[in-house]
Amino acid sequence: MNQKGPRLGEPASLWRMRIVPVATVMFASALPLMLPLIANSPVLPPLGLLFFLCWQLLRTEMWPVWIGLPLGLWDDLFSGQPIGTAVGLWTLASIAIHYSSQRIYWRGFFHDWAIAALLVAIVQALAALIAHRHAAPGHVLGLVVPQIVISALLVPLFLRLTGKFDNFRLKRR
């Protein structure tokens, strides 16, 4: 047998299976700080959070429930929020996804969309309130509403992208 070449039906390498999801979330978290965009309001959707939620909706059992701690810390470093915001909120979101996957027997596309949109809205609203504790809450929430709407509309795209990455992650050699 040719040892150099790929063997038929061999599963993907363990490293690729583990690194691809984490790497996509980390890159998506860091990307907004690498674009030459000086924004006057939160205009970009939270890319890292969207990938994080979509991976968990697609593969609920892939990550332990505490994966939000390190990934959230990474996101906090780049997002400008007070450190600890995403650490807490992302972990609570992943607990919510694990809980919903127990409650809903056959989760379909529209379930996924609704869960992701709801969680993005809650996480972004709470993060804004934590970042501006001394400002009027109504005004602060008004700031993030456009971003939440854009994010909710983009969820199907991110689910598709996550699916593509998942195909690459599990592709047999």
Partner 1 sequence: MVRPANRRPGQSRKAQYSLFVAYVIAVTGAVAGLLLAILSVVDPVGFAALRVASQEIAAPVARVTRSVTGSISGVDDSVGAYVAAGSQNRRLRKELTETRRKLVATSSLQEENRQLKGLLKLQETDKAALANGYLLTSTSTSSKRLALLSIGRNLGVMAGQPVRGADGLIGRVLSSGPSVSQVLLLTDVDNIVPVRRASDGLPALANGRGNGDLDIRTLNIANNPFKPGDILVTSGTGGLYPPNIPVAIVVRRQDDGALARPLADPGKVDAVAVLRPYTPDNIEAQAVPAPTSAAPSAGAP
| Residues 1-30 contacting partner 1, CB under 8 A | 30
Q: Find out whether 52 and 46 touch, Cβ atoms under 8 Å.
A: no
83 to 112: interface string for partner 1, x by CB under 8 A: xxxxxxx-xx-xx-----xx-xxxxx---x
Q: Is the dihedral of CA 114, 120, 125, 130 positive or negative?
A: positive
| DSSP sequence for 113-127 | HHHHHHHHHHHHHHH
R_g of the chain, CA atoms, integer Å = 18
Task: Compute the distance between CA of residue 44 and CA of residue 41 in angstroms, rounded to an integer.
Answer: 9
Nearer to partner 1 among residue 4 and residue 164 (C-beta): 164
Stretch that binds partner 1, among 2-10, 12-20, 142-150, 159-167 (CB under 8 A): 142-150
Do 114 and 53 meet the contact criterion of CB atoms below 8 Å apart? no
Q: Which of 7, 11, 18, 64 binds partner 1 (CB under 8 A)?
A: 64
Stretch touching partner 1 by CB under 8 A, among 14-22, 62-70, 153-161, 162-170:
62-70
Which of residues 13 and 157 has its CB atom nearest to partner 1 in the complex?
157
Our finding on whether 68 is near partner 1 (CB under 8 A) is: yes
Residue 45: how many other CB atoms lie within 10 Å: 23
Residue 69 binds partner 1 (CB under 8 A): yes
Comparing CB distances to partner 1, the nearer of 43 and 157 is 43
* Nearest to 71, CA basis, from 21, 135, 144, 121: 21
**Cβ 130 vs Cβ 81: under 8 Å:** yes
Binding site for partner 1 (CB under 8 A): 30, 32-47, 57-58, 60-61, 64-66, 68-69, 72-73, 77-89, 91-92, 94-95, 101-102, 104-108, 112, 127-128, 130-135, 139-140, 143-144, 147
